[in-house]
Amino acid sequence: MFLRRNRKVVDGEAYDYWTLCESTRTAQGPRQRVVASLGKLDSQETSHGWEDIDALLEGHSRPRQLQFGQSDPPEQQVELVDIHGVRVERSREFGSVYLGLALWRRLGLHTLLGELIESGRESVPWEAVASILSIGRFCAQTSELSIAQEWYERTALEDLLAIDPMQINDDRLYRGLDVLIKHRDKLCGHLMERYKDWFGVNMEFLIYDVTSTFFEGQCERNPNAARGYSRDNRSDCKQVCIGLVCSAEGLPLSYEVFKGNRSDVTTVESIVRQMEDKYGKAQRIWVMDRGMVSEKNIEFLRQRGARYIVGTPKSQLRHFEAELLSGQDWREVNEGVEARLVEHPDGNGAEKYVLCRSSARRMKEAAMLERQTQALAEKLAAMDRGLRRSPQNDVEKVGRRIGRYLGKYPAAARVIEAVVIREEQGAICGLNYWSRVETGKRAGMAQGAYLLRTNCTEEDPAKIWQWYMQLTQAEAAFRTAKSDIGLRPIFHQLADRVESHILVCFLSLAM
């Protein structure tokens, strides 16, 4: 490989740029191929190692490394080493923990906690313990026990924090959780101020969503632990629900922990009041999915002077069949996505609906319905053959079996109708089934379509759609918290420790 200087003249002015090339053998003979364009390099850059690029990439030389504080590169030195007499001892992780600590300090959390927590007889400052807890989650550690037993010792935090590994044990980390949770509101407020200073984040646009995380253990002394709808498909475990508020950019602003069996729709008032208590009343735009929607919540938001963009149940589409079939007034808001404003079916001028349809989503829903319909038809056909061979007198048994199939394929159950065939003696000797034509047409018309409800009546439908799509930021935050940070499962049993665990995950998510 070698560097090639290139020159081009534009309007009488010459421009120089560099490309990285390599020579290759072809059937027509040796040829030169451009590997990368390096742009414009000044004389200082070309003299500081670029001339050795071929040797570096081929592994024939080692890069020249500057010491801290050096302005000029030293002369290259070569030492002869007996590789049989060299070994690596106590290698430690550096990059991830250094990044975590840099973010912790860049956020100013060490200064804030140093001011909030009064020093006592502890040998390790509680601020340092909090940083170890958060950096551990940031680096995907699953528990405080794993941090204390092996992770801290195999990282470079001992050198970065000047804390001996013998001083980091599970008891100290658990006590650190107890100290940290007392300052939750101050920590959330501090993060908000940082977001404002750095990114200009305001509180006029908020995204709210709810998830759940499950426990390992019985959690008999935790009043919030209960069985409910599990987003993790762990209905066998108790859980808590977590409501997360994000900015439009996906930055976590605040959160609230709810009882595990609490439905999403009942959490809206609590979270709205909490944000108003912290940051005052304002005409904010709240973005929520259809799981939060109820007439009571909509009326509550109106009374608070808030604006909202919410999803609606699929059943609402039946009021807009004519609009779905119409080819007028649709606007392309994204590739393959169209939207249009439609009036409220009850003539309510304070609200409008945004009707959206997506070609990709339509294809996906059509394929899902086709699979379900085919599977249900095969089950009913097999049942029909069995009944024709051996008729059944037990009507309830046959009905339960049909109901089981319909429940397994709910989408197909809406477009397929099944009727039993009886003999003269009353025994069931077969099964007839067919597609409901009208229902199938409506299902096809609704495929790929969804409906948004808003009181931002003066806004463009494209803008409303884009705001609603920001819900994916909250969903991405939940995925990161659960999969990368270790929000699930929760091993703590006490309510305060569970709250502390979620707070540490929240700080790691902010980092």
pLDDT tens track for 128-147: 999 999 999 999 888 999 99
pLDDT value at residue 142: 85
pLDDT value at residue 181: 94
- Sign of the Cα torsion 170, 174, 175, 180 reads positive
- Of the two residues 323 and 188, the one the predictor is more confident about is 188
Residue 27, domain member (yes or no): yes
Q: What is the residue range of 433's domain?
A: 362-446
Burial class (CB in 10 A: 0-12, 13-18, 19+), 99: middle
Same domain, 8 and 145: no
> Cα–Cα distance between 295 and 303 in angstroms, integer?
12
pLDDT value at residue 140: 86
Residue whose token pair is 């007198």: 393
The model's pLDDT over 366-416, given as tens digits with 9 standing for 90+, comes to: 899 899 999 999 999 999 999 888 888 888 888 899 999 999 998 888 888
pLDDT value at residue 136: 94
pLDDT value at residue 323: 76
Residue 195, domain member (yes or no): no
- 131 contacts 108 by C-beta, under 8 angstroms: no
Same domain, 389 and 475: no
pLDDT value at residue 24: 81
Same domain, 342 and 376: no
Mean pLDDT along residues 143-162: 92
Same domain, 59 and 137: no
Same domain, 337 and 481: yes
Q: For residue 157, count other CB atoms closer than 10 A to its CB.
A: 28
Residue 56 has pLDDT above 50, yes or no: no
pLDDT value at residue 475: 84
Same domain, 375 and 236: no
Residue 362 has pLDDT above 90, yes or no: no
User: What is the DSSP annotation of 412-469?
Assistant: HHTTEEEEEEE-TTS-EEEEEEEE-HHHHHHHHHHTTEEEEEES-TTS-HHHHHHHHH
- 344 contacts 353 by C-beta, under 8 angstroms: yes
The model's pLDDT over 468-499, given as tens digits with 9 standing for 90+, comes to: 888 888 888 888 888 888 888 899 989 999 99
Residue 75, domain member (yes or no): no
Same domain, 237 and 309: yes
Same domain, 176 and 122: yes
Same domain, 289 and 339: yes
Residue 300, domain member (yes or no): yes
Residue 115 has pLDDT above 80, yes or no: yes
pLDDT value at residue 74: 57
> Cα–Cα distance between 109 and 128 in angstroms, integer?
10
pLDDT value at residue 506: 94
Residue 47 has pLDDT above 50, yes or no: no
pLDDT value at residue 394: 86
Crossing angle (nearest 10°) for helices 268-279 and 184-199: 70
Residue 319, domain member (yes or no): yes
Mind spelling out the 3-state secondary structure of 67-115?
Answer: CCCCCCCCCCCCCCCCHHHCCCCCCCECHHHHHHHHHHHHCCHHHHHHH
H or E stretch including 45? helix 43-46
Six token digits for residue 454:
């808003």
502: left (phi over 0), alpha (psi -120 to 50) or beta: alpha
- 63 contacts 56 by C-beta, under 8 angstroms: yes
505 pLDDT band, cuts 50/70/90, is very high
Number of domains in the chain: 4
pLDDT value at residue 68: 46
- Of the two residues 482 and 265, the one the predictor is more confident about is 265
- Of the two residues 239 and 27, the one the predictor is more confident about is 239
Mean pLDDT along residues 22-41: 78
- 369 contacts 443 by C-beta, under 8 angstroms: yes
Q: For residue 215, count other CB atoms closer than 10 A to its CB.
A: 21
pLDDT value at residue 433: 85
Residue 278, domain member (yes or no): yes
pLDDT, mean over the chain: 85
Task: Report the Cα 403 to chain-centroid distance in Å.
Answer: 36
pLDDT value at residue 76: 67
Residue 435, domain member (yes or no): yes
265 pLDDT band, cuts 50/70/90, is very high
pLDDT value at residue 48: 47
Same domain, 153 and 302: no
Residue 178, domain member (yes or no): yes
pLDDT value at residue 487: 87
Instruction: Go through the chain and tell me how many residues it has.
Output: 511
pLDDT value at residue 55: 53
Q: Where a domain ends, among 151, 184, 217?
A: 184
- 241 contacts 211 by C-beta, under 8 angstroms: yes
pLDDT value at residue 72: 56
Same domain, 341 and 468: yes
Q: Where a domain ends, among 154, 184, 214?
A: 184
Helices and strands of the chain, counted as H and E runs: 19, 14
> Cα–Cα distance between 361 and 449 in angstroms, integer?
8
41 pLDDT band, cuts 50/70/90, is low
Q: For residue 212, count other CB atoms closer than 10 A to its CB.
A: 23
Mean pLDDT along residues 181-203: 90
Please state, in angstroms and as integers, the Cα–Cα distance from residue 136 to each residue in 128, 142, 153, 488, following that order. 12, 8, 12, 15
pLDDT value at residue 258: 94
Q: In this predicted structure, which of 218-232, 342-356, 360-374 has the lowest mean pLDDT? A: 342-356
pLDDT value at residue 66: 45
The model's pLDDT over 350-360, given as tens digits with 9 standing for 90+, comes to: 788 888 888 88
Q: Where a domain ends, among 29, 47, 66?
A: 66
pLDDT value at residue 374: 92
Q: In this predicted structure, which of 56-60, 229-233, 286-290 has the lowest mean pLDDT? A: 56-60
Same domain, 473 and 382: no
Mean pLDDT along residues 195-214: 88
- Of the two residues 1 and 127, the one the predictor is more confident about is 127
